[in-house]
Structure 1
Amino acid sequence: MEEKMKLQPEDFQALEVTTELDAEKIAAPSLTFTQDAWRRLKKNKGAVISLFIVLIMIVLSFGSTPFVNRDTLVKSQPQYANLPSKIPGVNINGLNGKAEVGGVWVDKYAQAGVPKDKYFIFGTDYLGRSLGQRILYGTKISLIVALVATFFDLTIGVTYGIVSGWKGGRTDNVMQRIIEVISSVPSLVIVVLMLVVFKPGIGSIILAIAISSWTTMARMIRAETLQLKSQEYVLAARTLGESPTKIAWKHLVPNLSSIIIIQTMYTIPNAIFFEAFLSFIGIGISAPETSLGVLLNEGQKNFQFLPYQMWYPAIVLCVLMISFNLLGDGLRDAFDPKTRR
Structure 2
Amino acid sequence: MADEVKLTAKSFEPLDRSKNLDSEKISAPNLTFMQDAWRRLKKNKSAVIAMVILILFFIMAILSFFPSVLPHQPNAINTQYANLPPKWPGVDINGVNGTLVQGGSRINAYAQAGAASNVHFWLGTDYLGRDLLSRILTGTRISLTVAVVATLVDLLFGVTYGMFSGWKGGRVDNFMQRLIEIIMSIPTLVIVVLLMLILKPGMWSIILTIAFSSWTTMARLTRAQTLELKEQEYILAARTLGESPIKIAFKHLLPNLSSIIIIQTMFTIPSAIFFEAFLSFVGIGIPNPTASLGTLLNDGQKNFQFLPYQMWYPAIVLSIIMIAFNVFADGLRDAFDPQTKE
Shorter-normalised TM range? over 0.9
1:44 equivalenced with 2:32 (yes/no): no
Moved over 4 A (4+): 3-9, 15-20, 23-26
2:148 aligns with 147
Residue 131 of structure 2 corresponds to 130
The alpha-carbon distance between structure 1 residues 89 and 45, as it changes in their structure 2 partners (threshold 3 A), is farther
Structure 1 CA distance for aligned equivalents of residues 140 and 97 of structure 2? 25
Residue 316 of structure 1 is matched in structure 2 by 317
2:230 maps to 1:236? no
SS in 2 for 1:338: coil
Q: Distance in 2 between matches of 1:115 and 1:252?
A: 64
> Contact (CA 8 Å) 1:161, 1:220: kept in 2 or not?
yes
> Quick check: 1:149–1:267 contact (8 Å CA) kept in 2?
no
Aligned-pair CA distance for 1:22: 3.8
Q: Which residue of 1 aligns with 2:33?
A: 33
Shift of 1:171: 0.4
- Name the CA distance, whole Å, in 1 between partners of 2:21 and 2:326: 50
Amino acid at match of 1:220: L
CA RMSD of aligned residues (A): 2.3
The residue matched to 1:74 in structure 2 has which SS?
coil
Distance 2:86 2:323 in 1: 25
> 2-side partners of 1:220 and 1:5: how far apart?
69
| Deviation of the 1:127 alpha carbon | 0.6
Report what 1:104 is aligned to.
Answer: 105
Indicate yes or no: 2:267 matched with 1:262. Answer: no
Separation in 1, partners of 2:165, 2:191: 24
Distance 2:120 2:256 in 1: 52
With over 3 angstroms needed to count, the CA separation of the structure-2 counterparts of 1:308 and 1:233, relative to structure 1, is: same
Distance 1:308 1:20, change over 3 A: same
Aligned partners of 1:282 and 1:241: how far apart in 2? 55
How does 1:186-205 map onto structure 2 within 5 Å? 186-205=187-206
Instruction: Please list, as runs of the form range in 1=range in 2, the aligned pairs for 1:106-121 lying within 5 A after superposition.
Output: 106-121=107-122
SS of the equivalent of 1:100 reads strand
- Is residue 172 of structure 1 aligned with residue 181 of structure 2? no
Residue of structure 2 equivalent to 1:273: 274
Instruction: Give the partner amino acid of 1:192.
Output: V
Q: Aligned-pair distance for 1:210?
A: 2.6
What residue is the counterpart of 2:83 in the other structure? 82
Q: 2: CA distance between counterparts of 1:41 and 1:90?
A: 39
Measured after TM superposition, the shift of residue 26 of structure 1 is 4.2
Shift of 1:296: 0.4
Q: Which runs of 5+ in 2 are unaligned?
A: none
Distance, in Å, in 2 between the alignment partners of 1:320 and 1:22 is 49
**Where does residue 55 of structure 1 map in the other structure?**
55
Q: Is the 8 A contact 2:147 2:207 kept in 1?
A: no
User: How high is the TM-score relative to the length of structure 1?
Assistant: 0.92
Which residue identity does 1:33 align to in structure 2? F
Query: Measured at CA, do residues 231 and 76 of structure 1 come closer, stay the same or move farther in structure 2, by a change above 3 Å?
Result: same
Q: Counterpart amino acid of 2:93?
A: I
| CA distance in 2 between partners of 1:340 and 1:171 (Å) | 40
1:199 deviates by: 2.5
**Are residues 262 and 8 of structure 1, via their aligned partners in 2, closer, same or farther at CA, if it must alter by over 3 Å?**
closer
- Paired residue for 2:338? 337
1:244-255 equivalences under 5 Å are: 244-255=245-256
TM-score (ref. length: structure 2): 0.92
Deviation sequence 1:21-42 (CA, Å, 0-9, x none):
4467441221111111111101
Q: Counterparts of 1:159 and 1:288 in 2: how far apart (Å)?
A: 37
Gaps of 5+ in 1: none
Identity of aligned residues (%): 63
Structure 1 residues 252, 200: closer, same or farther in 2, change over 3 A? same
Contact 1:37–1:334 (CA under 8 A) maintained in structure 2: yes
1:198 Cα deviation after fit:
2.1
Aligned to 1:302: 303
Q: Which amino acid aligns with 2:36?
A: D
Does structure 2 conserve the Cα–Cα contact (< 8 Å) formed by 1:98 and 1:109?
A: yes
Q: Structure 1 residue 65 and structure 2 residue 65: aligned?
A: yes
